[in-house]
């Protein structure tokens, strides 16, 4: 396992470098520049701004200087937020996105896994078809449709919850439900499929023949092996949830990483775009590694060795 972790870490660094390189050049190929909105600025002042941010230097010099900053964990200054670094902006937005993503993740687990388990236990019944129908509905409705519907119903008609903003605990309920809804559906379907596959195996039949109750067979034997697809899915899903979802944060006016990324794209804030992409990529790769480790802990048949 240690050898596997070290090997994966050694492969992660070149992959992150490739992501940084592609993002660095792609954002510069896009039309516009970080100083394009500085209208009415004399040419001398614009030249000073370009010199201050290093935009007057050749691309290879800018690329080299950016990599040197990354070695010191310095993501550089923001081109649009004056006297603020990208590190500071990510540090401000990350706790907000993390709270929203963590609550959505817990909500998805608490609802999706039990729904899938119940559907597997009641395979072929009306309960199974009803739960899978709801899961299909949850997958089919996109966030940009579900969010405004929840705002209209609970925020503007019933006046139970605030429609947008951030600050009070009540502000997190509607965006968390909107963010968690498709993941609840995915987890329910994955749990049902995984548990059903395990229930058809011979060792489950042996456990039943020994006189074990159906609840014991379901929870002790079937759930542990059947939940492996859920673990595989929730690793990247958790990384996406914690780093924020652009659509949900924009709909509910939440100042998290997703909203920050949209503003950076509109403003052509090169360093901020690079910083958020780097952070999200690192989080995804880390979660994938943790998922592989969790696989070995959940299924004793899985071993990571030379072969």
299: confidence class by pLDDT, cuts 50, 70, 90: low
Q: What are phi and psi of 122, to 5 degrees?
A: -105, 40
The CATH number of residue 131's host domain is 1.10.3720.10
User: Measuring CA to CA, which residue among 192, 194, 207, 205 is closest to residue 298?
Assistant: 194
Residue 275 lies in a domain: no
Residue 123 lies in a domain: yes
18: confidence class by pLDDT, cuts 50, 70, 90: very high
Residue 231 lies in a domain: yes
Say which residue the tokens 């608490």 belong to.
Answer: 110
Residue 205 Cα to chain centre, angstroms: 38
Domain that holds residue 113: 93-270
Query: How many structural domains is the chain composed of?
Result: 1
- Is the pLDDT confidence value at 215 over 80? no
Instruction: State the virtual CA torsion across 268, 274, 279, 283 in degrees, nearest 10.
Output: 100
Residue 167 lies in a domain: yes
Residues 132, 189 contacting (CB under 8 angstroms): yes
Q: pTM for this one?
A: 0.77
Q: How many CB atoms lie within 10 A of CB 204?
A: 17
- Is the pLDDT confidence value at 306 over 60? no
61 or 221, which is more confident? 61
pLDDT value of position 78: 87
175: confidence class by pLDDT, cuts 50, 70, 90: very high
Residue 283 lies in a domain: no
Strongest mean pLDDT among 43-47, 207-211, 266-270: 266-270
Residue 128 lies in a domain: yes
Residue 97 lies in a domain: yes
75 or 211, which is more confident? 75
- Is the pLDDT confidence value at 307 over 60? no
- Is the pLDDT confidence value at 76 over 80? yes
- Mean of all residue pLDDT scores within the chain: 81
What does the DSSP 8-state code read for residue 169? G
């Amino acid at each position: 396992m240690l050898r596997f972790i070290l090997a994966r870490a050694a492969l992660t660094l070149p992959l992150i470098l490739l992501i940084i390189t592609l993002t660095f050049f792609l954002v510069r190929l896009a039309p516009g520049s970080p100083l394009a909105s500085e209208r009415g600025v004399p040419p001398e002042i614009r030249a000073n701004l370009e010199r201050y941010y290093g935009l007057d230097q050749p691309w290879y010099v800018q690329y080299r200087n950016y990599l040197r900053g990354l070695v010191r964990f310095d993501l550089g200054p923001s081109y649009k937020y004056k006297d603020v670094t990208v590190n500071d902006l990510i540090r401000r937005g990350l706790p907000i996105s993390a709270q929203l993503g963590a609550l959505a993740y817990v909500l998805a687990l608490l609802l999706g896994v039990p729904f899938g388990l119940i559907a597997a236990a009641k395979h072929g019944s009306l309960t199974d078809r009803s739960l899978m129908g709801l899961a299909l509905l949850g997958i089919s409705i996109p966030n940009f449709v579900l969010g405004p519907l929840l705002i209209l119903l609970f925020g503007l008609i019933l006046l139970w919850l605030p429609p947008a903003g951030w600050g009070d605990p009540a502000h997190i309920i509607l965006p968390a439900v909107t963010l968690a809804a498709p993941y609840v559906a995915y987890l329910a379907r994955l749990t049902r499929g995984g548990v059903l596959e395990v229930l058809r195996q011979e060792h489950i039949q042996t456990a039943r023949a020994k006189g074990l109750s159906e609840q014991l067979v379901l929870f002790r034997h079937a759930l542990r092996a059947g939940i492996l697809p859920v673990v595989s899915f929730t690793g990247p899903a958790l990384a996406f949830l914690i780093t924020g979802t652009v659509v949900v944060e924009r709909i509910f006016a939440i100042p998290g990483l997703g909203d920050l990324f949209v503003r950076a794209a509109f403003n052509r804030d090169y360093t901020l775009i690079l910083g958020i992409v780097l952070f999200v990529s690192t989080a995804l790769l880390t979660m994938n590694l943790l998922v592989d480790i969790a696989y070995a802990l959940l299924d004793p048949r899985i071993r990571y060795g030379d072969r």
